[in-house]
Amino acid sequence: MVEVLLLVGFVVAAFVGYNIGGATTGPAFGPAVGSDVLSKSGAAALMSVFFFIGAGTLGQRVVTTLGEDLVTGGSVFTLETSILVLFFIGGALFVGNFAGVPASTSMTAVGAIAGLGLATGTLDRAVMGEIAIWWIVAPIIGFWVSGVVGRYFYPAIDSWVAIDSTEGALFEIDRSGAIPKPVAGPNTTRRELVGGFVVIAIGCLMAFSSGTSNIANAIAPLVALDGVEMTPMILLGSAAVAVGAFTIARRTLDTLGNDITDLPLTAAIVVASVSSGIVISLSAVGIPASFVIIATMSIVGLGWGRATRTVTVRQGIKGEKEPTVSVGALKADETGPIGEGDPADIPSASDLFNPGTSARVVLMQNVVPLLSTVGALVTFTVLFRFVW
């Protein structure tokens, strides 16, 4: 019976990993796919590789936090409770993926484990408090760092990386030799090629950061059990993420790459760099971070920084001129020093964002973790009070 339950646990963990692959591939490679720099299959392949690298390195620290530190008393993680926790994580994430929305996997997983801890009185409130504080602080840091970049450094970065897309594919496969190899497209310029490599490299960095933070969401409850080793579970979880990246992630790639926003390459690079840096730093100290929320606040901060470039310091202090703050500022005219931009060059946010899709994303990013947390809390309360 134990062997059967353990097999069920592995299957549920793989199901969670499958949904993590669907939820995180979009944020990592949506800009590259949306700008036709990378195919969906290429994005899935890179996601699989770099997620595994992140999971096998810094990801082990986050596994320890969720599996050993968040709830006190190892006995609370039995085979049965671990399977149920994973079921709530995977089920909630599946709802988000089905809707084509990349929900926060870290918040969903922590919510399910916290639900178990609250129902059994074993939640370590100090650890939970530390995680919750960073969930608040990290997006604020992302907002302000991106805002400073947008206010003072965006034009210089844009002049270095901005590219004009040419007709035709950026890359083609040369099959003339014994081994097929990627080559530049017939109309691809050198600048466009470098820009393409940059946006792909940023996606790989995001995939690595996802591995550092999200592998724990799939395997931590099982690794907490006696006799279950971390390394084989990392392999299982990473393989499941790869399957999700090649299948269900196509929906979130469409949402992040085409439907919700049309970020310029420069903005995508800034947001990805800031968000990944924060997530990797938190993973290094064992804190599970929400990449989706940090990236969203980084986009808003970058737009705010770009918009306020049209206001001089004197005008801002005296209140002579109110900045037109919108995410559309990401496409503002890049010429001129700080305070000499033209507000007329800043389009409205509706030129960048689809309001309907944006509302759906915001709604599901809150609903999915709530489903996981409330579902686990109610279920474990009933089970421990009336059944177990």
Give the residue from 218, 298, 260 showing the smallest Cα distance to 22. Answer: 218
Q: What angle do CA 367, 371, 374 make, to 5 degrees?
A: 125
Task: Report pLDDT digits (tens) over 309-362.
Answer: 655 445 444 555 544 444 444 554 444 444 444 454 444 444 444 556 556 666
> Is 329 within 8 Å of 355 (Cβ atoms)?
no
pTM of the model: 0.78
Q: What is the separation of C-alpha 257 from the centre of its chain, rounded to a whole number of angstroms?
A: 13
Task: Report pLDDT digits (tens) over 164-194.
Answer: 666 666 667 778 878 877 777 777 777 777 7
Task: Report pLDDT digits (tens) over 58-94.
Answer: 999 999 999 889 998 656 888 899 999 999 988 888 8
Compute the distance between CA of residue 376 and CA of residue 119 in angstroms, rounded to an integer.
8
Structure tokens at 362: 């915001």
Compute the distance between CA of residue 174 and CA of residue 252 in angstroms, rounded to an integer.
30
Residues sharing a CB contact under 8 Å with residue 347, sequence separation 6 or more, in sequence order: 326, 328, 331
DSSP bridge pairs for 173: 182
AA identity, residue 10: F
Q: What is the largest CA-CA distance in the chain?
A: 74
Give the SS3 label for residue 171: strand
